Amino acid sequence: MKGFKGGIYKSYIKRPMDFILSLIAIILLSPVFVIVAILVRIKLGSPVLFKQRRPGLNEKIFMMYKFRTMTDERDETGELLPDEVRLTKFGKFLRSTSLDELPELFNILKGDMSIIGPRPLLVQYLTLYNNHQKRRHEVRPGLSGLAQVSGRNAISWEEKFNLDIEYVDNVSFKGDWKIIFMTIMKVFVREGISSDNAATMEPFKGNKKEEWNYEK
């Protein structure tokens, strides 16, 4: 049982399961993809998809896809306005329902991501992680994860990373399906979409110097 929980499931079952489930989801949700894409084009303009480089398994960089949720409004100097200004009512709806995440199903199909795992964060965060936090890249990043069903953007970075590593250390078939069902429930309740102090989540600024910058 221990081997199935860790090694066998993680090595031989998780990836085929991801491929099959993501393919089924793409087929079944294809009408939703079309409708959301049209609405994004009408309400937010082009491009419909938001593309960004993110680190995946073993910190390998891949291109992640999402539906666009923000405008490109800029100030007089050409700088983008704050998230809370560019995030429209429609964009907030897409995020609260997680419809903006649907294109990531193609990332799962390609093998860049998994259905369940630590969320793929920004590339610039890679140099800010301590050794403990870097372990989140020992598995493929996920469409949802333990941190997302435990508070999503409403919990601190430290709590989020600790939950990511807890997942890495306890990958299992039962655990993944539990998170899948909890994710579905969270989407309907729309919990933890934003932090207490920002429209989305405050940027990760790293740990205290003595915790991670061992060369100085």
The 10s digit of each residue's pLDDT in 21-34 is 999 999 999 999 99
Tell me what the mean pLDDT of segment 25-53 comes to.
95
What is the reported pLDDT for 5?
A: 54
Q: Is the pLDDT of residue 62 over 80?
A: yes
User: Which amino acid, 71?
Assistant: T
Give Cβ neighbours of residue 70 (< 8 Å, ≥ 6 apart): 44, 50, 83, 86, 87, 88, 91
Query: Residues 183, 141: contact at Cβ < 8 Å?
Result: no
* pLDDT one-digit tens code per residue, 71-101: 888 777 878 777 777 888 999 999 888 899 9
Tokens of 104: 């990531």
Instruction: For residues 134-149, give the mean pLDDT.
Output: 96
Q: What whole-number distance in Å separates Cα of residue 162 and Cα of residue 67?
A: 28
Confidence of residue 6 (pLDDT cuts 50, 70, 90): low
64 - beta bridge partners? 52
Residue 212: pLDDT over 60:
no
CB atoms within 10 A of CB 15: 14
Q: Give the confidence band of 191 by pLDDT, cuts at 50, 70, 90.
A: low
Under 8 Å between Cβ of 131 and 214? no
Exposure letters 22-53 (e unless 16+ CB within 10 A, then b): beebbeeeeeebeebbebbeeebeeebebeee
Higher pLDDT residue, 56 or 71? 56
pLDDT of 202 over the 90 cut = no
- Rounded CA gap, 113 and 66, in Å? 13
State the pLDDT at residue 77.
80
pTM for this prediction? 0.85
Percentage of the chain exceeding pLDDT 90: 65
Q: With cut-offs at 50, 70 and 90, classify the pLDDT of residue 167.
A: very high
CB 116: neighbour CB atoms within 10 A?
27
Mean pLDDT for the stretch of residues 52-62 = 97
Q: Which of 76-85, 142-151, 201-210 has the highest mean pLDDT?
A: 142-151
**The predicted structure's pLDDT at residue 151:** 76
Burial of 154 (0-12, 13-18, 19+ CB in 10 A): middle
Distance CA 24, CA 115 (A): 13
Q: Between the CA of residue 148 and those of 18, 44, 128, what are the distances in Å? A: 18, 26, 21
pLDDT score for 99: 94
CB 173 within 8 A of CB 126: no
CA distance 90 to 43: 8
